[in-house]
Amino acid sequence: MEFKVNSKELEKLLTKIIPAVPTRTPMSILENFLFEIKDGSLTINATDLEISMKSSINIVSEENVSIVVPAKLTHDILKSLGDTTVYFEITQNGKLNLKTDNGEYSISYLDAQEFPEIPTFPTNADDIYEITMNGLELKYALDITSFAMSKEEMRPAMMGTYLQFESEGLRFVATDGHRLVNLLKKNVKADISDQYVIPEKAISVLQKILDEKDIKIFLSKTHMSFKLNDIELITRLIGQKYPDYKSVIPLENEFDLKLKTKDIHTAIKRMMLFSSTSSTKRVKFAITENNLEISAEDIDMGNSGKESVMCEYNGNPIEIGFNSQYVNDILSHLTSEKEIIFKLHSATKAVIIVPSESKENQELMMLVMPVRLNN
Amino acid sequence: MEFKVNSKELEKLLTKIIPAVPTRTPMSILENFLFEIKDGSLTINATDLEISMKSSINIVSEENVSIVVPAKLTHDILKSLGDTTVYFEITQNGKLNLKTDNGEYSISYLDAQEFPEIPTFPTNADDIYEITMNGLELKYALDITSFAMSKEEMRPAMMGTYLQFESEGLRFVATDGHRLVNLLKKNVKADISDQYVIPEKAISVLQKILDEKDIKIFLSKTHMSFKLNDIELITRLIGQKYPDYKSVIPLENEFDLKLKTKDIHTAIKRMMLFSSTSSTKRVKFAITENNLEISAEDIDMGNSGKESVMCEYNGNPIEIGFNSQYVNDILSHLTSEKEIIFKLHSATKAVIIVPSESKENQELMMLVMPVRLNN
């Protein structure tokens, strides 16, 4: 059977779908696209068994057929062609032939039956909801929370980002036990009591494909589906219960340390040059009314640094240690905030970091655990 | 003792010198800069024992002292500071202290005696010559030849680029036995009969630092010195005799295959998608009067490609195989040439590739060995 497509149109489609193709997998069949030609439409599918992506273009074809083709090679060939018409031919003897004015490329395909079952959204299940979000708002929410997800496989739920609909809005939470991000988007409301934990892979793909357009999100107890323009991304949800993150958030951190975000961020980056060799990458904050002295020491190499950062502080003088990498991660996600406030209680209690001015329609809170100072 | 410098001025200097610092070395002392303070001048030195680089800035200092400081850390600290005055203090107890308005950084230094002997130019030797070249012309010559240098340690001379002064000009040659580049710069002449083989490290550093300014080159039998603005790069030369490259250049390749560089280059890049798994990365050229058919086959995966490229050819029809990676490397360095000519004789004899129009003041010739076709 034969059909034709424009090279750039198909390349664009494959570029959107290929993030779902795993780059290192023991199941080599997953390194393929599933091409489904049906009723004048070519649908491209890819999956790593946790997420799946698909998108379609219209073609003129009289037959229906499904084949499995190597994802990277097919994508690379389309990328390497200029803007041209490509004639596709699927032969009976297992070859997908691509013909252009000057060239002819032959790729071995596999039977569609060899492709594993693709995660699909359970449209017939109970408790299915649909919401719509602006693509950039969802991207912001995922960007600012997901860096704090755990990479430890010991606690699978913490390897994802937690979504909960509350009466005030949609809450996003991510934590690895050392730091936590807690974002409430007040303009996204729905009467949904279920909770959802989205795995990392789905989040990293969403971060790549989200744009200013609205995105439709379908939620079930086991899967979420994201419909963006002509692409559908389906992800399994992490089935484990998310830990009770609220219990680690201190309610009475009465001391406020107000800082210019840029001042503390550049200082932390310099301190990381001295703290990088120790296991906790420790930086010390010595805080007084108008001065934050931050310091770090590389004991093995005999190097050290200290700096003064202007601040406003309303508490008792305190010395507290942090992992400089964790503080830097947090500050890297707050660069759009001019000033931030560290809310403290003592050298051993979790510290809360908030922007000094809230953005419209949202509440953002980050948390970092201190590390012990051996004085 | 104390002195002060502008952070950006010193950062710029360190950025120029740090390419000479080896990143992976069993001799950790080489990961340092040697700071020499003498008579109102701070000279920064770095070496990997094959090359050395140095540059100076003026400072106000009453004492003379030399210390050894960690290169990356010192460079990183200077980079991380804004544009500011940095006060340096060298203490008796082994600390280099850097002070700015807000910060203080302390780095352990080592004694200058611990630094190994730096390669220096033997100014008192016989047969010392000096030439001047435009920086961009030298960069072009190194860029277009050095990719063909060998990476095999079996034949050390071929791991460098060969320079020979001839009556027509300065010749640059690089080869790994599979391909060869031979460039004659006609506007660089000197009455020098010695031959020079520059090691790869010196070439890669020169490629980074050369600009449009003139560069002074000093040549001795064992070392070369390059003086560019305020930097001096000294390199040991490879002492082994360069192989007789002329003997592999065929003189009677009577068949000319003329191609548009872009046409053949884009076609080769597509063929590489199919030739990449075989050991010789083989692509086949089937050449007739007006048509070059190029093809490649991935036998393991059952994929293949072929294309027609317009050409002008004045020889007998011929089929010849090449390593597509080698042809691509050559074409990647000829993108500024609109048309190129492959000069052929037979399927087993070396093929010469030349631009169809010579640039002013130079002769450029590349050579690639064919690979066997198993028909």
> Which tokens go with A52?
């799946």
Residues of chain B with C-beta less than 8 angstroms from the C-beta of A301:
70, 73, 108
> Which tokens go with A41?
């439409």
Residues of chain A with C-beta less than 8 angstroms from the C-beta of B305:
77, 103-106
Gap from A106 CA to chain B (nearest CA, Å): 5
Rg (CA), chain B: 25
Gap from A179 CA to chain B (nearest CA, Å): 26
Residues of chain B with C-beta less than 8 angstroms from the C-beta of A302:
94-95, 108
- In this prediction, residue B288 carries a pLDDT of 96
Are the Cβ atoms of B105 and A274 closer than 8 angstroms?
yes
Gap from B203 CA to chain A (nearest CA, Å): 31
Tell me the mean pLDDT in the region B14-21: 95
pLDDT digits (tens, 9 = 90+) for A25-71: 999 999 999 999 999 999 999 999 999 999 999 999 989 999 999 99
> What confidence tier does B375 reach under pLDDT thresholds 50, 70, 90?
low
Are the Cβ atoms of A270 and B94 closer than 8 angstroms?
no
Element (H, E) at A370: none
Judge whether residue A316 has pLDDT over 80. Answer: yes
Which stretches of B187-237 are assigned E, i.e. beta strand?
Answer: 195-199, 214-219, 223-228, 231-236
Residues of chain B with C-beta less than 8 angstroms from the C-beta of A269:
80
Tell me the mean pLDDT in the region B360-364: 95
8 A C-beta contact, residue A19 and residue A75:
no
Taking an 8 Å Cβ-Cβ cutoff, which residues of chain A contact chain B?
70, 73, 76-77, 80-82, 94-95, 102-108, 266-267, 269-270, 273-274, 301-309
Mean pLDDT for all residues in chain A = 95
pLDDT digits (tens, 9 = 90+) for B240-281: 999 999 999 999 899 999 999 999 999 999 999 999 777 889
Q: Which residue of A has its CA nearest to B310?
A: A102
Residues of chain A with C-beta less than 8 angstroms from the C-beta of B105:
270, 274, 303-306
Q: Which residue of B has its CA nearest to A96?
A: B303
**Residue A167, helix vs strand vs coil:** coil
The percent of residues in chain B predicted with pLDDT above 70, rounded, is 100
Residues of chain B with C-beta less than 8 angstroms from the C-beta of A81:
270
Residues of chain A with C-beta less than 8 angstroms from the C-beta of B269:
80
Are the Cβ atoms of A103 and B267 closer than 8 angstroms?
yes
Residues of chain A with C-beta less than 8 angstroms from the C-beta of B267:
102-103
On the 0-12 / 13-18 / 19+ scale of CB atoms within 10 A, B243 is middle
8 A C-beta contact, residue A174 and residue A238:
no
Helical packing angle, B324-332 and B261-275, nearest 10°:
150
Judge whether residue A268 has pLDDT over 80. Answer: yes
Dihedrals φ, ψ of B345, to 5°? Answer: -125, -50
pLDDT digits (tens, 9 = 90+) for A152-197: 999 999 999 999 999 999 999 999 999 999 999 999 999 998 899 9
> Which tokens go with B293?
């058919």
Q: In Å, what is the CA distance from A350 to each residue of A180, A194, A212, A366?
A: 10, 28, 36, 10
How many contiguous H segments (helices) and E segments (strands) does chain B have? 6, 26
Beginning with the edge strand found earlier in the chain, give each strand of the sheet holding A312-313 in spatial order.
A195-199, A160-165, A170-175, A179-185, A362-368, A351-355, A339-344, A255-260, A312-313
Q: Are strands A351-355 and A362-368 parallel, antiparallel or unpaired?
A: antiparallel
Of B70, B94, B270, the CB nearest to A103: B270
The percent of residues in chain A predicted with pLDDT above 90, rounded, is 93
Q: Which residue of A has its CA nearest to B265?
A: A80
Residues of chain B with C-beta less than 8 angstroms from the C-beta of A308:
102-103
- In this prediction, residue B279 carries a pLDDT of 80
- In this prediction, residue A124 carries a pLDDT of 85
Are the Cβ atoms of A303 and B76 closer than 8 angstroms?
no
Domains in chain B and their CATH numbers?
2-114 (3.10.150.10), 129-246 (3.10.150.10), 249-368 (3.10.150.10)
Interface A–B counts its CB contacts (< 8 A) at: 86
Residues of chain B with C-beta less than 8 angstroms from the C-beta of A108:
301-303
ipTM, 2 dp: 0.89
> What confidence tier does B57 reach under pLDDT thresholds 50, 70, 90?
very high
Are the Cβ atoms of A70 and B301 closer than 8 angstroms?
yes
Are the Cβ atoms of B307 and A102 closer than 8 angstroms?
yes
pLDDT digits (tens, 9 = 90+) for A317-353: 999 999 999 999 999 999 999 999 999 999 999 999 9
Are the Cβ atoms of A303 and B269 closer than 8 angstroms?
no
Q: How far is CA A300 from the centre of its chain?
A: 36
Are the Cβ atoms of A267 and B103 closer than 8 angstroms?
yes
Are the Cβ atoms of B270 and A81 closer than 8 angstroms?
yes
- The span from the CA of A200 to the CA of A180, in Å, is 16
Residues of chain B with C-beta less than 8 angstroms from the C-beta of A94:
302
Give pTM, 2 decimals.
Answer: 0.91
Gap from B111 CA to chain A (nearest CA, Å): 15
The percent of residues in chain A predicted with pLDDT above 70, rounded, is 100
Judge whether residue A375 has pLDDT over 70. Answer: no
Judge whether residue A272 has pLDDT over 60. Answer: yes
- In this prediction, residue B196 carries a pLDDT of 97
pLDDT digits (tens, 9 = 90+) for B174-201: 999 999 999 999 999 999 988 999 999 9
Q: Which of A31, A32, A80 to mutate to test the interface with B (most CBs of B within 10 A)?
A: A80
Of A95, A103, A303, the CB nearest to B306: A103
Tell me the mean pLDDT in the region B210-224: 96
Mean pLDDT for all residues in chain B = 95
- The span from the CA of B263 to the CA of B255, in Å, is 20
8 A C-beta contact, residue A250 and residue A352:
yes
Are the Cβ atoms of B303 and A106 closer than 8 angstroms?
yes
Tell me the mean pLDDT in the region B115-140: 93
Gap from B128 CA to chain A (nearest CA, Å): 43
Of B104, B108, B305, the CB nearest to A103: B305
Taking an 8 Å Cβ-Cβ cutoff, which residues of chain B contact chain A?
70, 73, 76-77, 80-82, 94-95, 102-108, 266-267, 269-270, 273-274, 301-309
Dihedrals φ, ψ of A306, to 5°? Answer: -150, 150
- In this prediction, residue B229 carries a pLDDT of 85
Tell me the mean pLDDT in the region B101-119: 96
Are the Cβ atoms of A307 and B266 closer than 8 angstroms?
no
> Which tokens go with A43?
């649908």
Are the Cβ atoms of A103 and B307 closer than 8 angstroms?
yes
Q: Which of A75, A99, A284, A303 to mutate to test the interface with B (most CBs of B within 10 A)?
A: A303
pLDDT digits (tens, 9 = 90+) for B326-355: 999 999 999 999 999 999 999 999 999 999
Of B103, B269, B303, the CB nearest to A80: B269
Residues of chain B with C-beta less than 8 angstroms from the C-beta of A306:
103-105
- The span from the CA of B174 to the CA of B182, in Å, is 7
